[in-house]
A and B are shown apart, each in its own frame.
Chain A
């Protein structure tokens, strides 16, 4: 075992400098990736959470950006059975935001691509979503919570945690991440397509949770949002 020279400062104190660097670096990076969680719990408690998270999920990469990947799951375990179960779901939204910022570049599908498809073949169409797109659903109003905790918002609004569910698309437009609210039907449609289901099956799922779901309107919105990357059948 290697021994550390004292040379006027006890080895334990010297190691303390490195321990402090580790904790500071980890906590600071986590706060940059989950600013809404930090705002919800406050800086002091966030630091405690970060250090507990560090103990359970230390960095496994030379690239610090990855440390946030297991944070939502960690919060789920920490707050299960409490009135703070929504933390995990807000964290999942924040992590989706981070993933979208760094995801591979690809081009948005031009709606003209559908012009060549005969209408009777629409049910067989399969759509691939953009790499920088994530879909989230929550029983909690996670997008409203996220919105009122952005910089510049006072965060004073009291949100009724029972005012969910919410369905959210997180995606990247011109280099910037965005959150967009979806209807239950839109979420069901896009989730089905993301699972490589053909349009017919995805539409059935959408109609089940939203009987008045309008496919044409929804598809047009999806194209406008630039959600699709490819179509095939």
Chain B
């Protein structure tokens, strides 16, 4: 599985199966295929027979202090076994407390205590699934006063403690660097190269909060030029990795996603040509 991939959306299933577009690989949201049966699962099975698959979860709530949701984990394990994805990923976040789910991705406090807790949880998930997972950096709109580590120090320690890999979302990195005022290159240099196994690219929205600019990770538009630029820097630093074009809301036609993927592929090719 290499090159640029595209997020798999239900509204494109029929077209993908009919037209068999030249896409390197697809990434599906795990929870969308938790249903016991039905058309979506059947279509995913058929799509998998033609394309490599990555499974990306949003609802496992890894960082939560609630016990790991065994029902969720069981359903994830079932689809991992059925669809045999090349990569399985989740988020460095929490989204539930006392069994109530916010269905959003909240940032952890980057403390030693949270690190130990999260590393243990990732270990439990990897044991249950029988494989390594990738953990994705999220966009965040707040930081905690008690933070002891930077986000990248936390992520690096997490990799060391749990043996997980990193899904580096270049858009989220850019959004956080602007929202929280740090140099994105510090982040790139501050995480272990070998652990980075996938990139995400997505769009975000510049808006206001109070009387300040803030960037919101909307994943509902084209990848912005500053994110493409940061992706170029990431390619230079890490080398090529499978790169997903992520577009989760206001989904455009498949050919629009393919055009974004083509841009990423062109940058990967250019890197390879220069590095050869």
B109 interface contact, C-beta 8 A: yes
- Residue A14 contacts which of B42, B145, B209 (CB distance < 8 angstroms)? B209
Which residues from B are CB-within-8-Å of A5? Answer: 142-145
In the docked arrangement, what's the CA distance between A147 and B144, Å? 51
Tell me, yes or no, whether B141 is within 8 Å of chain A by CB: yes
Known: A14-B141, A62-B31. A172 touches B38 (CB 8 A): yes
Task: Give complex CA distance A8, B212 in Å.
Answer: 7
Q: Report the separation of the CA atoms of residues A149 and B144 in the bound assembly, to the nearest whole angstrom.
A: 48
| B residues less than 8 Å from A59 (CB atoms) | 100-103
Q: How far in angstroms is the closest Cβ of chain A from B98?
A: 10
Residue B95 interfacial (CB < 8 Å): yes
Q: Is there contact, CB below 8 Å, between A14 and B142?
A: yes
Bound state CA distance, A62 and B43, in angstroms?
Answer: 23
Across-interface contacts of B37 in A (CB, < 8 A) = 102-106, 131-132
**Given contacts A7-B143, A18-B141, is CB(A58)–CB(B101) below 8 Å?**
yes
With both beta carbons as reference points, the residue of chain A lying nearest to B181 in the complex is identified as A7
Cα A58 to Cα B99 in complex, Å, equals 10
Q: Does B253 interact with chain A (Cβ within 8 Å)?
A: no
Q: Measured between alpha carbons, how far is A133 from B139 in the docked complex, in Å? A: 41
Contact, CB under 8 Å: B38 / A65:
no
A175/B35 in contact, CB under 8 A: no
* Contact B143 A62, beta carbon cutoff 8 Å: no
Q: Check: A216 CB closer than 8 A to any chain B CB.
A: no
The reply to whether B210 and A9 contact each other, CB–CB distance below 8 Å, is yes
Residue contact B146 to A65, C-beta cutoff 8 Å:
no
Instruction: Specify the chain B residue showing the minimal Cβ separation from A29.
Output: B103
Q: Which residues of B contact A175 (CB under 8 A)?
A: 38-39, 42-43
- Rounded to whole Å, the gap between the CB of B15 and the closest CB of chain A is 16
With an 8 A cutoff between CB atoms, is B203 at the interface? no
A residues contacting B by CB (< 8 A) are: 2-5, 7-11, 13-18, 21-22, 25-26, 58-65, 101-106, 131-132, 172, 175-176
Given A3-B145, A13-B210, A105-B42; 19 other pairs, CB 8 A cutoff: A2-B145, A3-B144, A8-B210, A13-B209, A16-B209, A17-B141, A17-B214, A18-B106, A59-B103, A61-B69, A61-B71, A62-B57, A62-B96, A62-B101, A63-B34, A63-B75, A64-B103, A103-B36, A132-B37
Which residues of B are interface residues toward A (Cβ below 8 A)? 31, 34-43, 57-61, 69, 71-72, 75, 95-96, 99-104, 106, 109, 141-146, 180-181, 209-210, 212, 214, 216
For this complex, 30 residue pairs linking A to B, each with C-beta atoms less than 8 Å apart, are: A2-B109, A2-B146, A3-B144, A4-B144, A5-B142, A7-B143, A7-B180, A7-B181, A9-B212, A14-B142, A17-B141, A17-B209, A18-B104, A22-B102, A22-B104, A59-B100, A59-B102, A60-B100, A61-B71, A62-B59, A62-B72, A62-B95, A63-B34, A63-B75, A65-B31, A65-B34, A105-B37, A131-B36, A131-B37, A175-B43
